C-alpha cells in the first residue's frame, strides 16, 4: 500500500522494512505503531502492524513480472498464429508494461488528447515536438498553459493552414514541415483526398538541426501522421541515440509506405503485423516502455490506437 506525502511531492509509503531519508538517502530500520510519524516537518499516517519506507521520487514503476508476462503472452499468441488479420484482437498483444503513477490526459476528450507520464518533469528548459495537428490544438494549448516549454507544431497540409496564427496565441511555434523520408501526399494528414499535392519530408534529426536544437532533449515527441509513422519511428529508433523522454503516437492499421496495389489484402495485413512487432522490438531496445494504450475514438474497428511510451533511462524509476 502506498500513500503520497502531503508535503514532499512524489514520495511513496510502501510496505518494507527500511526508511530512506530523502536528503541523505541513508537507509534506517523503521517500525512504527499506529498513529502519526513526524519526518522532516511533515506528518504521515502510519497504519498498525505495517512497516513502511519513504523512497526518493519515481515517475515510473517497473514490474519485471508484468513485462515478462506480456512477452510470454505475445509469444504464445504468435506461435499459434491466432490473431492474424484481426486488428481488434491483435492489439491485445500489446498492453501497458510500466506504470506512471502521475500520468495525465492532456487535451480534448476523444481524438486529439494524449497521455503524459509525469507533468512534473516538464520544467524549463523543456521541448515538445508535435507532428500532425490537422488544425486542432487542444493538446498543445493545454500543455502551454501548464508548463513553460518550447512547443513546436509541425504540419504541411492544408488542414493546418490556420495553425500559425493559433500557435502564436499560446506561445508555440508552427512549421510547415512533415516528418519522415521522401515525399508524402496530402492524405497523410488530411481527409481531402481530392488534392494530389505532395510534400517533401524531413527526418527528426534534420528538423532538430534546422531549428538549432542539437544537444537539447525532446521531452515529448507526439506523432499523429496517418500511417506514415512506421517509417518515421523506424528512423528515429534506428540507433537509440536521439535524446527523447516520451513518445506519444497514434499507430494505424495501415502503412502508407506499403503499396497496397502490389500485394493482396492478406499480405498487406501480414506486413503491417510484422512492422508493428518490429517497431515494438525497437522501442524496447531503446528503453522505451509502453505506459498507456487507448483505442482511437474516431476509427472504426480499432484500426488505430493511441500509444504512449516513456524512456526509462531518461527519468527516475522504481523496479519491483
pLDDT of residue 220: 96
Is 18 in a helix, a strand, or coil? strand
Is 145 in a helix, a strand, or coil? helix
Which regions in the chain score pLDDT beneath 50? 1-56, 82-83, 188-194
Angstrom CA distances, 51 to 23, 32, 42, 46, 202, stand at 20, 7, 18, 8, 55
The strand pair at 218-223 and 127-131 is best described as parallel
Q: What is the C-alpha radius of gyration for the chain, rounded to an integer number of angstroms? A: 22
pLDDT of residue 216: 93
**Short-list 202, 179, 197, 177, CA closest to 187:** 197
pLDDT of residue 10: 38
Q: List phi, psi (to 5°) of 277.
A: -60, -45
Angle between helices 265-285 and 229-236 (to 10 degrees): 30
pLDDT of residue 110: 76
Per-residue pLDDT tens for 152-184?
Answer: 999 988 777 788 889 999 999 999 999 987 766
Q: Round to whole Å and give the CA distance between 71 and 14.
A: 27
Given its phi and psi angles, is residue 112 left (phi above 0), alpha (psi -120 to 50 degrees) or beta? left
**The three cell numbers locating residue 146:** 501548464
**The three cell numbers locating residue 28:** 534506517
pLDDT of residue 84: 57
Q: Is the dihedral of CA 119, 124, 130, 136 positive or negative?
A: positive
Is 289 in a helix, a strand, or coil? strand
- For the chain, the first-to-last Cα distance in angstroms comes to 14
Q: Round to whole Å and give the CA distance between 269 and 275.
A: 10
Per-residue pLDDT tens for 13-53?
Answer: 333 333 333 334 443 443 444 443 444 444 444 434 444 44
pLDDT of residue 103: 94
**Short-list 215, 214, 129, CA closest to 178:** 129
The answer to whether 269 and 84 have CB atoms below 8 angstroms apart is yes
The answer to whether 22 and 8 have CB atoms below 8 angstroms apart is yes
Angstrom CA distances, 296 to 253, 291, 302, stand at 11, 16, 7
Q: Round to whole Å and give the CA distance between 38 and 24.
A: 17
pLDDT of residue 245: 94
The strand pair at 27-29 and 98-99 is best described as unpaired
Amino acid at each position: 500500500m502506498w500513500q503520497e506525502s502531503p508535503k514532499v511531492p512524489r514520495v511513496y509509503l510502501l510496505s518494507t522494512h527500511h526508511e530512506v531519508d530523502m536528503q541523505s538517502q541513508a537507509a534506517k530500520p523503521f517500525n512504527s505503531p499506529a498513529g502519526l510519524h513526524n519526518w522532516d516537518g511533515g506528518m504521515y499516517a502510519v497504519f498498525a502492524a505495517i512497516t513502511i519506507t519513504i523512497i526518493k521520487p519515481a515517475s515510473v514503476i517497473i514490474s519485471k513480472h508484468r513485462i515478462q508476462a506480456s512477452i510470454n503472452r505475445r509469444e504464445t499468441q504468435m506461435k499459434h498464429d491466432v490473431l492474424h488479420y484481426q486488428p481488434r484482437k491483435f492489439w491485445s498483444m500489446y498492453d501497458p508494461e510500466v506504470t506512471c503513477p502521475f500520468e495525465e490526459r492532456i487535451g480534448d476528450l476523444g481524438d486529439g488528447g494524449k497521455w503524459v507520464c509525469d507533468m512534473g518533469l516538464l520544467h524549463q528548459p523543456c521541448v515538445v515536438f508535435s507532428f500532425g495537428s490537422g488544425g486542432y490544438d487542444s493538446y498543445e494549448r493545454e500543455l502551454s498553459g501548464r508548463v513553460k516549454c518550447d512547443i513546436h507544431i509541425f504540419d504541411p497540409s492544408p488542414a493546418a493552414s490556420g495553425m500559425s496564427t493559433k500557435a502564436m496565441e499560446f506561445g508555440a511555434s508552427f512549421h510547415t514541415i512533415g516528418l519522415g523520408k521522401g515525399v508524402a501526399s496530402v492524405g497523410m494528414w488530411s481527409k481531402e483526398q481530392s488534392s494530389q499535392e505532395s510534400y517533401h519530408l524531413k527526418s527528426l534529426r534534420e528538423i532538430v538541426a534546422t531549428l538549432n536544437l542539437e544537444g537539447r532533449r525532446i521531452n515529448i515527441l507526439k506523432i499523429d501522421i496517418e500511417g506514415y509513422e512506421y517509417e518515421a519511428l523506424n528512423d528515429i529508433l534506428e540507433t537509440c541515440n536521439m535524446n527523447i523522454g516520451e513518445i506519444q503516437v497514434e499507430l494505424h492499421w495501415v502503412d502508407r509506405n506499403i503499396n497496397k496495389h502490389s500485394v493482396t489484402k492478406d499480405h498487406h495485413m501480414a506486413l503491417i503485423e510484422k512492422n508493428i512487432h518490429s517497431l515494438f522490438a525497437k522501442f524496447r531496445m531503446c528503453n522505451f516502455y509502453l505506459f498507456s494504450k487507448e483505442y482511437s475514438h474516431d476509427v472504426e474497428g480499432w484500426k488505430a490506437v493511441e500509444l504512449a511510451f516513456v524512456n526509462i533511462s531518461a527519468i527516475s524509476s522504481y523496479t519491483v
